[in-house]
Amino acid sequence: MMNKKVMDVSGGKDLETQRVITWNKHKGANQRWKIVYVDQFKEQNKGLIEEFGLYANRAFYIRSRLPNRRVAECQGNYDVRQRKWRNNDVGQQWYFDPVQKVIKSKKWNNRALEVQNHSNGLGNMRCYTPSARWWQQFKFDDAKITNVKNPTSMEVYQNKDTENQNIVLSKTHGRINQQWDIVYVDEWKGDPKKGELNEDFGFYVERPFHIVSMLPRRRYLQRVDPASSQEIVIKQPNSYKEQVWYFDQASLTIKCQKNNQSLNINGNGSSNNLNTRGTQTNWF
């Protein structure tokens, strides 16, 4: 109290037997403490670990909120990339270890999720030997997977919703490529089948429909000239397949029944015009 210094874990290093000293107050994590009374202490090893927002030892998928809803996958017990969900592939499953407080691979339980750069905590995510250091400790909060020490969050690199895209740790901004859902394996029903509702997209799978304008004449969306960049128009209802559409679960796109091509924003999303094109499964 006399010198206004506080207890401080030296160097901010979260290591076993690291020295504790006194230092000028700066409110860093290495100066924050919690008083836990012995008669109340109980190490939590099951249920929801509220501090980290994850259930202990319960397998889950880390699913991106980018349009294709790919999941984080530990590849070859090292790389972490986003891939399309595959049924019962444990390389895509993770669990929270409440003892070391790290996210581990279900396939390689001797590998924990970590950021490769241990200096500034930015860069590629990977699977590595568990050390319980800050670069391996993350919490799930408000749809973000954030580091416990730094204001950084896991994201799909360059916002590219493509297969095998890198997953990295970057400064937190909260945009969609940093948004994730934790989907527990015991609750996951798998992809919806034909006739079932895809709740993420709001369409029934492969169930034909018309897209009806709410302007007074209630005209239908129709594909016209396939050579045009402006081939989507509204027309009076007719019996043509050019007015019939369906949601394709495999590509997560709306397809025209006439040619089975996907509704598309022309110019790879750079235009205002709509057309139909061969399916690319990109955001446009």
Tokens representing residue 69 in the block = 């809803």
DSSP state of 261: P
**Amino acid identity for residue 84 in this structure:** K
Phi, psi of 254 (to 5 degrees): -90, 125
Mean pLDDT of 100-108: 95
pLDDT in tens, 113-129: 999 999 888 999 999 99
| pLDDT in the model for residue 55 | 97
Q: Which residue has the higher pLDDT, 39 or 238?
A: 238
Output the six-digit token pair for 29.
């994590």
- How far apart are the C-alpha atoms of 168 and 218, rounded to whole Å? 46
Please say whether the beta carbons of 212 and 245 come within 8 A.
Answer: no
CA distance 126 to 111: 9
> 111 pLDDT band (50/70/90 cuts)?
very high
Check whether 102 has a pLDDT greater than 90: yes
For strands 165-171 and 152-156, give the pairing: antiparallel
Residue 71 has pLDDT above 70, yes or no: yes
Q: Which domains does the chain have, with CATH numbers?
A: 5-36 (no CATH), 48-187 (2.80.10.50), 197-277 (no CATH)
